[in-house]
Amino acid sequence: MTDLEKAEQLFDQAVKLPQEEREEYLNKTCGKDVDTKQIVMGMIKNFDEASRYFKSLKLSWSDDFDYTDSQLGSYKIQRLIGAGGMGKVYLGARNDGLYEQEVAVKILKVNSQYSAPIDNREQQILADLDHPGIAKIFNAGKTDSNQTYLVMELVEGIPIEKYVESEKLGFKEIGQLMLQIGKAVQHAHQNRVIHRDLKPSNILINKGGIPKLLDFGISVLDHHLEQENFQHIITPNYCAPEQIEGSKHINVTTDVYLLGVLFYKLITAKTPFELNSLNYEERKEKIKNTPPPSITTSINKNSLLIKDFDKIIARALSKKQKNRYQSVDAMMNEIEAALNVFPLRESKNNRTTLFQKFIKRNKVPVAISTIAIVLIGILSGIYISNLKQAQLTAEAKEQKAQETLAFLLDLFKQNDPTVNLGDSMSIGVLLGEGLKNAVQIKNPSTRAAVFATLGQVNISLGNYEKGESLLNDAISLYKELENDQAIGEVLFKKGLLKKRTADNTEALELFSRALELTDDRKEQIKLKIHQAEIFAIFNIDSAKILATSALNDMKEAELDRKEEILNLFNITEIGLGHLDKVQTDSVMNYKITLVDEFRSSYPEEKLILARFYSNLSLNYRWANKYDSALKYSDLNLDLLNTVYGKDNINTASGLLLMAETQGWSGNSDSAEYYALRSLNVKESLLGKNHPSQIDELGLIANSKIRDGSFEGGEEILSQAYELSRNTYGLYNQITGDRLFALLQHYNRMGKFEKSVTLYPDLIKVDSTTYGMTSNTATTYLDYAWALRSLDSTQKALKQSYRARSIYEKDIGKDHYLYGMALFNIGEYGMESMPEKALLYFDSAVNILKKKMPENHPRVGNYQHTYAEVLSDHHNDSLSNVHYVESINNYNINYAEDEPDRVATFQINYAKRLLDQNMKDSAQAVLMTASRLIEETEQNQIKNEIAVLLKSI
């Protein structure tokens, strides 16, 4: 076999294999013959290019025919007036005697499937394409050599690029030109015609300065135009990723991309990619995968307009079709908005709008609420005809609405909406007015934006249901408009609402849908952080993965330091509760460094700083460092007071935090004081029984209970639970927390008959919010305890077994919680299975001793119980060991404050020792007890000791 034969055989076999298996096949069959393998691999790799090469070689001598003086249909070809990728263009004149007309005749280079003559359908589409910005196609036919020709309107004008250059057009004028072109393209799209080959040479500007698009309609006549051929003739510089791929999904977004390239070229005089020196594969790679450089890299200007244009172009040039503008209209609206110095309607990040500037310049956050009222007033007023407003045309009204809307959006986007909550109930009234008028807005994209804004405003006011339904309305409108980016944004908002209302599953789902739809890095980072924060509750591994991914994204996204600090601060929040002491300390130190840096670099950002303080306070509270927690609660409250004043809803959030921190620090009176102040502010602004008051109610109840007002406390606890259940539904973490507090109270009061009826609900809530994790298992154990207290021992045993198996799966057998479950099984199983129960006790105590902190009082309790059980079962020696250990434990924990308690245990132990006839030991124990209570007034215990000592 010759080398060539061998190569042919290898080539033939390898080419039939799936791409990923080829190399392996060649490795196997070629063995040491590396040369042959290399050659064949190279041939396979370039095979597509090879077959294109032979096609083009053939075209190069097949199509260069000169048609001058030929007769095509009713037209006599006069002279060549242009040539390009698609073919040659001749000047033609009608000579069938009907009337005189000069036309352009274009001979298509490629072999098209079009079969002359034009059919009715095609004729109709061409008629529909009638638009002043589109060169008309009068007819089409086939030459004798089977080439397609088109008879088109003769457009006298100069190519757009030359026009821009010779007229020295500015960026604004280029934008205006784009708008005119966009209108023509949109007209074609409305008639279901895609251009596919929009490029500067296809756009002529006539004497009146009006752009005319050539070649529209080629795609109509040539709907079968072979993609492969098309691919070959389209200029790679003006080619969308899906075109170079030969994808069949050529649609309006393809033209959007091409308009993006055109816009890019007109502004920078360059195409987004320099492709001329590259081969086909390299070009393909560039067009498919390399993001185009920003237009600001090519021009020396960095005006607001250019920034806006840059964003518009970047979006139009998205690699994925779904990420581009979903219509030319949407793209043109943004260009128009940029030209009118309105903030971008569809882009979102870093908008420096007039309003934000105003706020910054004036540095009066107090005024925000006032301005909000004014703005909502304007929004409502726009559609209410009065003398002034009547003069506004419908269009002007919509524009005005949009302007107001942009203001409003910025207002509420400044920070977390809760922080910017308005001062007065009148906002609610105005909102209602605004909404009534919003439904009358005709332009669907304006209407959607208004709905989304009003939805957010409602949410910030605590009207969650109304807010959500408005967001849903906005989403459905955007869906009709096929505006993925906007859908993504509203989904993000909805996710934030769900996260705030602790509807975590739903929030996660919404965030991930939003993540799919947005191609904005900064937005993606935020979404990932939000997801990670939720995951941190029940699945720390996923939380870590997301947080890491957000961190990685941050490296690539060009964030300014402010954004960076914000993201870092949020990320360091994730999984904080899972760290040990040393790790927690170092993370907290890092967070404080971040906050310090932020405070010195951005002292004007008081609200963000306040948020940092409140987070730090929470972190310290969770780490049981109450002094630091109080310090930051204080700093937070101070800032809010200076920014908003005393009776402000935002200040109330600071009061609530302070109340919680005080409560945790054990200052129950201060806790109640701050909680009541916060409640007062909220009640005066939002009325009684508003969902935002749940936390305050809980705190006040706790304080009342601690003061011995059990009935009053219980009433408030159940009020908070009902409120949460009505607002968020049963299956919600907040409702779960409220229910837990209520059940704890019932248990404490011995009202087990009430608590056992509600435990199944809490278990359901926990399993949905936490899943089958230790949180839920602990609820099972609490339930078991309540059941046992009602003598339903068997039921209690069943719940304990459940808890055990959940613990085992979630945290393993080497955890004190698992030990606790075993202990409970032992306790509840004493009657029905005494032998087994002892074994359960034994394992439980071993685990608890090992895994709980040394000398933890509960360990003493467990050991004491175990010792008594052992003693009952006449296992004296082991019982004594546990008695001694438990008494040591009590000594350490209670000797100072409750010596009588320790003494009682000791008496108890001495009696057991006496039963075993161990008089000396009993005497020693009694003597210790006696010394312990020597200085107290516990005469009864003293007497008992004396009696026992005497009997010895």
**Residues in contact with another protein by the rule CB under 8 A:** 2, 4-5, 7-8, 11-12, 15, 39, 42-44, 46-47, 49-51, 53-54, 57-58, 60-67, 69-72, 143-147
Dihedral (C-alpha) 902, 903, 907, 909: value to the nearest 10 degrees? Answer: 30
Token reading at 406: 């942009």
Residue the block writes with tokens 């099984």: 825
Please report how close the Cβ of residue 275 comes to another protein at its closest, in angstroms.
19
| Nearest Cα to Cα of residue 649 among 689, 680, 681 | 681
**Cβ atoms of residues 77 and 92 within 8 Å:** yes
Neighbouring C-beta atoms of residue 929, cutoff 10 Å: 28
Which residue among the candidates 128, 197, 842, 872 is catalytic per the annotation?
197
DSSP SS3 for 22? helix
DSSP SS3 for 737? helix
Residue 105 φ/ψ, nearest 5 degrees: -115, 125
**Cβ atoms of residues 243 and 85 within 8 Å:** no
d(CA 75, CA 292): 44
d(CA 13, CA 139): 49
**Cβ atoms of residues 204 and 155 within 8 Å:** yes
Would residue 197 show up in a list of annotated catalytic residues for this protein? yes
Instruction: Output 121-129 pairs: Cβ under 8 A, ≥24 positions apart.
Output: 122/220, 122/221, 125/191, 125/192, 125/193, 125/217, 125/220, 126/217, 126/220, 128/191, 129/187, 129/188, 129/191, 129/193, 129/216, 129/217, 129/220
> What would the DSSP string read from start to end of 865-905?
HHHHHHHHTT-HHHHHHHHHHHHHHHHHHHTTT-HHHHHHH
Nearby residues of 320 by Cβ (< 8 Å), 6 or more positions away: 519
Nearby residues of 63 by Cβ (< 8 Å), 6 or more positions away: 87, 109, 147
**Cβ atoms of residues 137 and 152 within 8 Å:** yes
Strands 87-94 and 102-108: antiparallel
106 is in an annotated binding site: yes
Taking CA atoms, 229 is separated from 53, 284, 286, in Å, by 12, 16, 21
d(CA 678, CA 497): 22
**Cβ atoms of residues 304 and 281 within 8 Å:** no
Please report how close the Cβ of residue 583 comes to another protein at its closest, in angstroms.
59
Please report, in angstroms and rounded to a whole number, the separation of the first and last CA atoms in the chain: 113
Nearby residues of 659 by Cβ (< 8 Å), 6 or more positions away: 670, 671, 672, 673, 674, 675, 678, 696, 699
Taking CA atoms, 128 is separated from 132, 133, 136, 222, 435, in Å, by 12, 13, 10, 17, 39
d(CA 718, CA 702): 12
Q: How many residues does the chain have?
A: 952
Burial class (CB in 10 A: 0-12, 13-18, 19+), 161: middle
Token reading at 163: 């026009």
Residue 578 is given by DSSP the state G
**Cβ atoms of residues 471 and 490 within 8 Å:** yes
Token reading at 424: 């007065």
Residue the block writes with tokens 């638009």: 131
Residue 482 φ/ψ, nearest 5 degrees: 55, 40
**Cβ atoms of residues 147 and 271 within 8 Å:** no
Residue 898 φ/ψ, nearest 5 degrees: -130, 65
| Nearest Cα to Cα of residue 342 among 304, 295, 393 | 304
Annotated binding site for ATP: 106
- Which sequence positions are flagged as catalytic? 197
Annotated binding site: 106
